[in-house]
Amino acid sequence: MSDPPLDRALHENDIAALKRLAFSPGGYGNNEVRQKVWPVLIATDSSLKLLGNNDPSLRSHRDKGQVMLDVDRCVRRLPAEIPLIRRRRYQQQILNIILQLLIHHPDIHYYQGLHDIVLTFVLAVGDKVAYAVMDMLVEHHLRDFLDANMTRTRLYISFLKPLLTLLDPDLEEFITRSQCYYFFSLSWVITWFGHVIQDNDIVMRLADAFLASHPLMPLYLSAMLVVSRRDEVLSLECEMSCVHSFLSNIPEDLNYEKLLTQAWDTFQKFPPEKVAKLGSISMSSSITLMNYPRLLRQVEGTMLPVDYWMWVGLGAIAAAALAVMYHYMTSTK
């Protein structure tokens, strides 16, 4: 189905409009559109190629056993009507993508939950586009989760406490007093909610927003999700296991469109720098946050209007002509 604003944004290479549309009701709406838009949002390398199933580097990779175990378990997220042969094909595609990412980026380490994000992308845009998008994400949005230890993952999650302090001090004080320590949100952010939301359409719709925005947007959405359950949380016994168990289980009937709008508004009101200052968080310790400006430059560089390149070309031609004229005039004196 045609979407005039989206079609126009794609035709005019309007990255700002594409990002705004990610937060409009329904996001990009369908997977055909996502195949076109997602690579643009993350400035993917179109020359990337997936290795074949029998490539020796995939077959012998040290992490293959662990990744296979996780991929085998993620079959629960595949729609029930998908036949067995297609399920196995999806699983093989997810396995290949993850192993190739580990080969292509030797400085990263696999974590349990990465397979959930890859599954979301494979279902939405197919394995080739999914690999190209993931190849960028492991260097940017997801990079802090891919260390050999969880130091930077904990740093990422640590933004939630000061953000909740800004949004609802009483709620934040209750959660802190329960000694819950906010690790209930771990599986939310490191899987882009793929591990905790059963509806794949919702998970893909959230991915629209996450790809179009700051790497901390999953955490801002997490904050809004917690605030939306404020009254229920405050009625609980202020005890770690009770609060952690309640918050870890996300209801199926949440209004994610409303939560995304609130997350975007909150991001504008309380940007990461303000949150980091309140929480005494060192943003420079985050590879993800330090790499984000570079990603923005890459995206903007691929999305400059056609007219821009026309004027660049004309400018180059004019500069060359002036250089020739100058050389001719000085050489004839």
| 163 and 250 both lie in a single domain | yes
Q: Is residue 324 part of a domain?
A: yes
The whole-angstrom separation of Cα 305 and Cα 14 is: 8
Predicted local distance difference test score (pLDDT) of residue 177: 96
Q: Please tell me the least confidently modeled range out of 17-31, 61-75, 275-289.
A: 61-75
pLDDT in tens, 74-95: 878 888 888 999 999 999 999 9
| 108 and 169 both lie in a single domain | no
| 95 and 212 both lie in a single domain | no
| 137 and 173 both lie in a single domain | no
Residue at which a domain ends, from 101, 125, 147: 147
| 155 and 218 both lie in a single domain | yes
The whole-angstrom separation of Cα 137 and Cα 295 is: 10
- Whichever domain contains 80, its CATH number is 1.10.8.1310
The torsion of the CA quartet 252, 42, 263, 293, rounded to 10 degrees, works out to 150
The whole-angstrom separation of Cα 94 and Cα 105 is: 17
Asked if the model's pLDDT at residue 328 lies above 70, the reply is no
| 169 and 256 both lie in a single domain | yes
Q: Is residue 300 part of a domain?
A: no
Mean pLDDT (the chain) is: 89
Q: Is residue 209 part of a domain?
A: yes
The whole-angstrom separation of Cα 85 and Cα 232 is: 44
Predicted local distance difference test score (pLDDT) of residue 316: 45
Q: Which of 272, 244, 239 is nearest to 166 (CA)?
A: 272
Domain that holds residue 18: 4-147
Percentage of the chain with pLDDT > 70?
A: 90
The whole-angstrom separation of Cα 109 and Cα 170 is: 38
Quick one: CA dihedral 119, 124, 126, 127, positive or negative?
negative
Predicted local distance difference test score (pLDDT) of residue 330: 55
pLDDT in tens, 215-236: 999 999 999 999 999 999 999 9
CB 161 within 8 A of CB 279: yes
| 126 and 190 both lie in a single domain | no
- Whichever domain contains 273, its CATH number is 1.10.472.80
As given in the structure block, the two tokens for residue 10 are 């794609």
Predicted local distance difference test score (pLDDT) of residue 4: 83
| 91 and 174 both lie in a single domain | no
Given pLDDT bands bounded at 50, 70 and 90, which one contains residue 53? confident
| 40 and 116 both lie in a single domain | yes
| 41 and 127 both lie in a single domain | yes
Percentage of the chain with pLDDT > 90?
A: 71
Of 283 and 1, which is predicted with more confidence? Answer: 283
| 241 and 291 both lie in a single domain | yes
Q: Provide the domain count of the chain.
A: 3
Quote the pTM value.
0.87
Q: Is residue 301 part of a domain?
A: no
- Angstrom CA distances, 190 to 145, 185, 222, stand at 7, 9, 12
Residue at which a domain ends, from 147, 172, 207: 147
Residue at which a domain ends, from 85, 114, 147: 147
Residue type, 104: H
| 21 and 141 both lie in a single domain | yes
